[in-house]
Structures are given as C-alpha cells and as structure tokens.
Amino acid sequence: MTVRVLLVDDQAMFRAGIAMVLGSQPDLEVVGEAGDGAEALEQVAATAPDVVLMDLEMPGTGGVEATRALVERYADDAPKVLVLTTFDLDEAAASAIEAGASGFLLKSADPEFLLASVRAVASGSKVVAAGATRRLWERFRGRPTRSPGPEYDALTEREREILLRAATGLSNAEIAEIEVLAEGTVKTHVSRILGKLGLRDRVQLVVYAYEHGLV
C-alpha cells in the first residue's frame, strides 16, 4: 500500500529536499505541496493524502490553525498530521498536538527517522519521543483541572485502569505485562476508551488525563 504524503512548508528548497527523500521509497508518494496552511487545506481536498507533513511557522495561516481546521472539517477521516518544528516541543508543537496532530518531528531529524515517522503515523502510531511526552505532561500538569464528564462514567473499571496506564506513556505490550492481559486485548480496550471519550489517539488521551486530574 502506498502512503500518500502532502508537504506543507513555506520554503520551497526544504520541500524539494523532503520530496526527494520520500520519493526514493517505493511505498511513499508525494501527492502535493503547499506553502502555507490555507493552501494546505485546498491541497488536502484535491489530493486526499494519508499524511500531511506540516510546518508550524508559516506566513498567513500557520500549521496549528491548519491542523485544527483539518480535524474540524474531516473529523475521523482527516489525514494524519505530522508537524515539523525547529525546536523540541516548543509552544507551537504542543498546540498542534492539542489541535489533533499525531506527533511532531524535528526538521533536523535524519532521513531514516523521517521515513520511519511517516510510515508510523500512516499506520496509526504516534511520533512523540519519550522525553517530549514528559514535557507534554508538564505542559498540562500545572493547569487547573476539571472533573470528568459522563463520557468518563461510561468507562468500565478495567478501562479506567488501562486509561491510567496508557496516560503515563506505557505501550500496549507494557500494559499487557502489568495487567496480565493479551496485547490484543489491551489494544481493544484502548480503542474502546478512545471511542467513549471522543479522542483521536493516545496523545490526546494523555492530554485528557491531565486536564481532568486523573494522573
């Protein structure tokens, strides 16, 4: 299966370099390019990419605003957004994750990590390094919390246990070992938790847990 990728960056030379790296792979195809967030929205409608590599700092409509607009417009059918940033989990990158991005990638990352990240995001995984995840937690830890709503009450006791494990950054395999469950069972629980809470992915699950004072 070929992963369709849209490149969004205001620097044409940078886009050209990324396009060369992606184009060297038989399973990756660059289907379009955009120089800002507004053009990105047009290109998504025209090319239906699986993954959008989204720069954050662009003139006009920036990456955070464009990511939020994609999620609002397409909901569960939105392409996966992998944001590109110069600084490790800066304010803009964290805001993009809140808006629905599946992770972030440093522009200084080596080509092999870029390729692995695009494939991972396309398959439904998230690209947020462990250290960055901890900083993401710190971003929300100091905020005032609010009580969970009726969506949390709909979770079973087991699902609440899995939620807390996942919110601390544990993988499905690690949760399975601790809870003495099959990894497939944990995956099913996590999927149901996301559905009941109206969340897109595990990154938003971490945000939810901290915003509601669960961890």
Q: Output the domain CATH number for residue 177.
A: 1.10.10.10
Q: Which of the listed residues 73, 101, 128 is the one where a domain comes to its end?
A: 128
Structure-block tokens of residue 149: 């709503």
Domain that holds residue 37: 3-128
Say if 134 falls within a structural domain.
no
| Number of domains making up the chain | 2
Backbone torsion region of residue 180, taken as left when φ is above 0, otherwise alpha when ψ lies between -120 and 50, otherwise beta: left
Say if 137 falls within a structural domain.
no
**What's the distance, Cα to Cα, between the start and end of the chain in Å?**
39
Say if 81 falls within a structural domain.
yes
> Which CATH number do you get for residue 45?
3.40.50.2300
Q: Which of the listed residues 96, 128, 160 is the one where a domain comes to its end?
A: 128
Q: What are the pLDDT tens digits along the chain (215 aa)?
A: 899 999 999 999 999 999 999 999 999 999 999 999 999 999 999 999 999 999 988 888 889 999 999 989 998 789 999 988 776 555 677 778 778 888 888 787 788 888 988 998 888 776 764 445 556 556 655 565 678 888 999 999 999 999 998 887 677 888 899 999 999 999 999 999 999 998 877 777 877 887 788 87
Say if 197 falls within a structural domain.
yes
Say if 140 falls within a structural domain.
no
Q: Are residues 10 and 104 in the same domain?
A: yes
Say if 138 falls within a structural domain.
no
The conformation of residue 82, written as its DSSP 8-state character, comes to: E
**3-state secondary structure (DSSP) of residue 146:** coil
Q: Are residues 122 and 167 in the same domain?
A: no
Say if 111 falls within a structural domain.
yes
Q: How far is CA 32 from CA 76, 95, 137, 159, in A?
A: 21, 25, 34, 40
**3-state secondary structure (DSSP) of residue 127:** strand
Using a cut of 0.75, tell me whether the model's pTM lies above it.
no
Say if 107 falls within a structural domain.
yes
